[in-house]
């Protein structure tokens, strides 16, 4: 790979970081973690079956353990802080409890705040998809 070419795979990026004389000295250790199987849990019992079934139709048969714990905590009225990598399922951690709250009380409201319009649009599309799958009457 020449200096004008950009690495396009993770392996190429790592090879570049390890071999570039300007970058390599900035790293003191390299460690590769072995892959792990996903850990899932049961849906919280309080979560309405319409939501569970809609998520199943969207390919989410069971929540990851962190999602199940966050959903259960929110349904129990506990404040939550979710810190996980990108694309690890944070959306479900707040969407499921919000939908449950609206099912429990049709006058309930939720305010979603996002740092960018693009993320807000992505989240609206995800929420709208779940609402449509569950055939719920929710306005967003």
Q: Is the pLDDT of residue 13 over 60?
A: yes
- 80 to 24, 39, 61, 74: CA distances (angstroms): 39, 20, 23, 7
Q: How confident is the model at residue 1, as a pLDDT?
A: 55
Q: Which CATH class is domain 49-134?
A: alpha beta
pLDDT single digits (tens) 74-94: 999 999 899 888 888 999 999
Q: Domain residues of the chain, as ranges?
A: 1-32, 49-134
> Over the chain, what is the mean pLDDT?
92
CA nearest to 46, candidates 69, 72, 64: 72
Percent of the residues in the chain that have a pLDDT greater than 90, as a whole number: 72
Q: Is the pLDDT of residue 123 over 90?
A: yes
Q: How confident is the model at residue 125, as a pLDDT?
A: 93
């Amino acid at each position: 790979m020449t200096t004008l070419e950009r690495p396009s795979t993770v392996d190429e990026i790592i090879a570049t970081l390890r071999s570039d004389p300007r970058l390599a000295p900035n790293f003191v250790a390299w460690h590769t973690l072995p892959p792990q199987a996903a850990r899932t849990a049961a849906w919280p019992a309080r979560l309405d079956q319409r939501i569970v079934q809609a998520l199943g139709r969207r390919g989410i048969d069971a929540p990851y353990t962190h999602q199940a714990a966050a959903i259960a905590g929110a349904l129990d009225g506990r404040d939550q802080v979710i810190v996980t990598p990108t694309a690890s399922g944070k959306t479900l951690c707040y969407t499921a409890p919000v939908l449950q709250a609206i099912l429990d009380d049709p006058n309930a409201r939720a305010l979603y705040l996002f740092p960018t319009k693009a993320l807000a649009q992505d989240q609206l599309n995800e929420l709208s998809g779940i609402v449509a799958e569950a055939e719920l009457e929710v306005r967003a």
